[in-house]
Structure 1
Amino acid sequence: MPSSFAMEAKSVDDTVRKRLRDLRTQQGLTLQDVAARASIDVSTLSRLESGKRRLALDHLPRLASALSVSTDELLREPESEDPRVRGSSHTRHGVTYWPLTRQGPTGGRHTFKVRVSTKRNTPPAELPVHEGQEWMYVLSGQLRLVLGERDFIIKPGEAVEFSTWTPHWFGTVDGPVEAIMIFDVHGERLHLHSD
């Protein structure tokens, strides 16, 4: 039968492992980002998060610093937080954005419901480019997507994925468009895992 000390150590290990993963994903950081900041090998960090390696005391201050939190915060039980995403809509260049995810302090992946106004129907002379990866799923209306020299009409139920390094623009065809948009500032590709 395990001693109470061993059970307590496992509980601390589990808490830190969960906090480490939660804080990293909330901040939109990859394993590589945190490992580099903490001067820890990526494989070590991965094993720490998955429970395949025990935490050492010297890991704690480096990991806390890499995540911009105190060691105490890394060790504490996470508060049960309100699951509702709070944020007001904002409109820019004929697109209204409603946040569907919390905005992490260092950026990362952001999800929005968007409504594209019928006024947004003509692409600019020069298509914008910027860092990132974008996904869109059209809920209603017909979305016009211009990617470089190519022009697409995306219908309800269809999804698109593209690098925002490609000159791009989206707008309406014959009425307003509603869609779900996922934007990853770091340009990481979306990976869906089935368990």
Structure 2
Amino acid sequence: MPEDKPDRNASLRLTVARRITALRRARGLSLSALAVQAGIGKGTLSELEAGARNPTLETLYALAGPLGVPLSRLLGEETGHSVSDGVVDARLLTVQRHDDGGTTEVFWLTIAEQGTRVSPAHQPGTVEHLRVVRGLARVGPLHAERLVPAGEAHSWSGGTAHSYRSTSGITEGILTIETPPSGMQPPDAPAAPTGEP
């Protein structure tokens, strides 16, 4: 039904809002401190925590780094959750949490035609692996990207800034992100008031 999509968007906004707030508080960070570390505006972060702003892939990755968590800890682990920034769309296929606290996430990745997206560094020890299914991608650490045609794959360290680029038409593929243990499990606390602690 057409009205289902707004409901899913609202549900995703609230899920992300609760998770960001709980993780920020568990780490003893104020809104201002997290915003500075993530390189985003305090107003943007406040709106995200209030559930008043749709999260973009770019913003969630910017927050995941300072919070020390993989993307799915912010997005939620429900298969099919999708987040986009206009250039890259990532739809969650599966998440596996390991006994040691590490996480493996698998996404269906779509890169817009001639689009480029720079991703900030993730937690040290993170490894990304992209298998291109359709199109031609240039991916990897900044200034050391590799051209990957359909049917081939490339792995790189996600612990440094890296980029995704489609060089001909829309590029699609399977992105696997392996994040090592962070030493801190995310709290699943309910949303709290949005005022700065």
- TM-score over 0.5 for the alignment? no
Question: TM-score w.r.t. structure 2 length?
Answer: 0.44
Q: Which has the higher contact order (CA 8 A, sep 6+)?
A: 2
Instruction: Name the larger-Rg structure.
Output: 1
Q: Which has the higher strand share?
A: 2
